Every structure is written in C-alpha cells, then in structure tokens.
C-alpha cells in the first residue's frame, strides 16, 4: 500500500486557489538565466522564455516556476535589480496569456514584491526564509502561497553543511522552524507548502533517503509537499556520469518515487515527458 496523499486547498495571490492532493501536479521550470545548470542552452531572451512557458502549459504543466538567479552549487549571487530585470519582462508578457498559476523562484523580498505585482501568485523560496526573512511579509501582504525549501548555507558552500545524523529527522525539524517563521510573519498556515530540498546541502545518499522517506516528512509537517529532483547532481552516478541535460531518465525514476510516496507537486524541466511519467505513476498508485 502506498501512503495516503492528504488534500489541501491553498489560496493564491490574486484570488486563485490551488487544489492539491487529488492528483500530483507538474510544475514546469523556467530559468531565465545565463548560467542555469540544467539547460543545454541559456534562456535569456524574454520572447523565447514566453514561448517556452506557453509550450509547457500546452504540454500539461499545472504551474510554471520562473527564476532569474541560478542557485546551483557554487553559483554566484545576483543583485535584486538584475534578477528583476530578467524575470519581469517575462511575467508581464505572460499576463493574460498563461492560464496556469505562476510561481516566482526567488529568495529576495524586493524581487518577490515586483513579481507578485506583475502577476505571480506563488513565491518559491529556496532558502526557506534564511537569506531574506522580509520575504515572508511580502508574501503575507499579497496573499501569496509560499513554498519553503530546506537548505543550509549558501550555494557557494552548501555541501560543507551537509552533515547529518539523521537527514530526514533534521530536515523535518528545520522545515518546521521555517514554517513557524512564516506564520509569525503573517503567512497563514494554509498558504504554506514545503520542499525537502533534494540536492541542496545534501550528499546523494541524503537526497535518496529524503525521497524514500517522504511520507514521514509530509505526515510530521502536515503540509503539501513539493519535490524537485529534476536533472540534479545527486542523480549523476545513477545516470552514468551524464551532464545535467542528459539526466531525464534518472529524473523520471525519482519523479515516479515521489509520486508513489505522496508528493503533491513535482518540479521538472522536461514537462511533456514528465507529465507522462506522473500520470503513469499515479495510475499505479491508484491501482
């Protein structure tokens, strides 16, 4: 028997509601950066980014996550002005054209503020409020949903912090603290989702353990769970040493495990392919 997937109704900015749990949703990744770790070709042209977002929706994406700063291990930080300059033209061009909710992938309060004004409905913070605690207040003031991801340290040094006695237990405790910070800043509990942060401040064994024991995290936190395994370095060995763009088969296996273990949302690059994976895994789960 597979673990149950609890139902949640998550209010979004601008009046929408995200219904989670009846089936796993697919979030398409749109990295508007010159240095994304996972894309074979940098996506810096707003017109191309808009076309790709629309194609992701046509391919079955339920949400689109737009980011303007790479958070890959070793990445250099980008200023808020530069990050906003990358994402805002795309957000503005998609207004009224994209029919699925948009998430802004940022840890900066200033970028989140501008993106929410431009039509984003969700804030996806890879730092879980560690880098800019003011982000929670921005999400609260706009009525946005807030995704809190687990990590330690900064991208330049995150692997040095990948020291755990029990990764699942410690990730759960630290995510519970991040949720408490968000609610203290005025974000209602019903608007908060969690992401255990596969690959972030975790060695491959930690990420596989988190994925395998996902039901424990979901039950302990009582929050909808997003899982983002797509093309990450913890899959490198299983993928035969392939570079990120060649890891879609290993990503498919991780996505299948996430769905079978009750993930509410999976965050992926190859939307068309992973929609098929998600639907097949869900069919097995239901059977």
What are the catalytic residues? Answer: 232, 267
Q: Which of 228, 241, 141, 233 is nearest to 182 (CA)?
A: 141
| Half-sphere exposure of residue 278: CA atoms within 13 angstroms, side-chain side | 26
- Per the structure block, which two tokens stand in for 60? 């079955």
Upper half-sphere CA count for residue 80 (Cβ side, 13 Å):
12
DSSP secondary structure of 100-145: S-EEEE-S-HHHHHHHHHTT--EEEETTTTSS-THHHHHHHHHT-E
Q: How far apart are CA 74 and CA 131, in angstroms?
A: 16
* Distance from C-alpha of 28 to C-alpha of 245, rounded to nearest angstrom: 15
Q: What would you report as the CA-atom Rg of the chain, rounded to the nearest whole angstrom?
A: 17
């Amino acid at each position: 028997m597979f673990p149950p997937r609890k139902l949640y109704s998550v209010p979004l900015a601008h009046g929408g509601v995200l219904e989670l749990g009846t089936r796993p949703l697919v979030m398409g990744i749109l990295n508007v950066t010159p240095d994304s770790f996972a894309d074979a070709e940098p996506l810096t042209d707003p017109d191309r980014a808009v076309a790709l977002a629309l194609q992701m929706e046509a391919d079955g994406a339920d949400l689109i996550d737009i980011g303007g700063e790479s958070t890959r291990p070793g990445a250099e930080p980008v200023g808020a002005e530069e990050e906003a300059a990358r994402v805002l033209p795309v957000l503005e061009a998609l207004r009224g054209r994209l029919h699925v909710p948009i998430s802004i992938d940022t840890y900066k309060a200033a970028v989140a503020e501008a993106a929410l004004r431009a039509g984003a409905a969700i804030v996806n913070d890879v730092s879980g409020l560690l880098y800019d605690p003011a982000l929670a207040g921005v999400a609260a003031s706009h009525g946005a949903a807030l995704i809190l991801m687990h990590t330690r340290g900064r991208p330049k040094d995150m692997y040095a912090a990948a020291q755990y006695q029990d990764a699942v237990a410690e990730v759960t405790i630290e995510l519970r603290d991040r949720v408490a910070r968000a609610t203290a800043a005025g974000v209602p509990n019903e608007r908060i989702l969690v992401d255990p942060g596969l690959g972030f401040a975790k060695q491959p064994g930690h990420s596989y353990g988190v994925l395998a024991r996902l039901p424990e995290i979901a039950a302990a936190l009582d929050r909808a769970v997003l899982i983002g395994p797509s093309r990450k370095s913890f899959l490198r060995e299983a993928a035969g040493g392939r570079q990120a763009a060649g890891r879609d088969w290993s990503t498919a296996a991780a996505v299948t495990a996430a769905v079978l273990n009750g993930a509410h949302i999976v965050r992926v690059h190859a939307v068309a392919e992973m929609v098929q994976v998600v639907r097949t895994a869900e069919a097995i789960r239901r059977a």
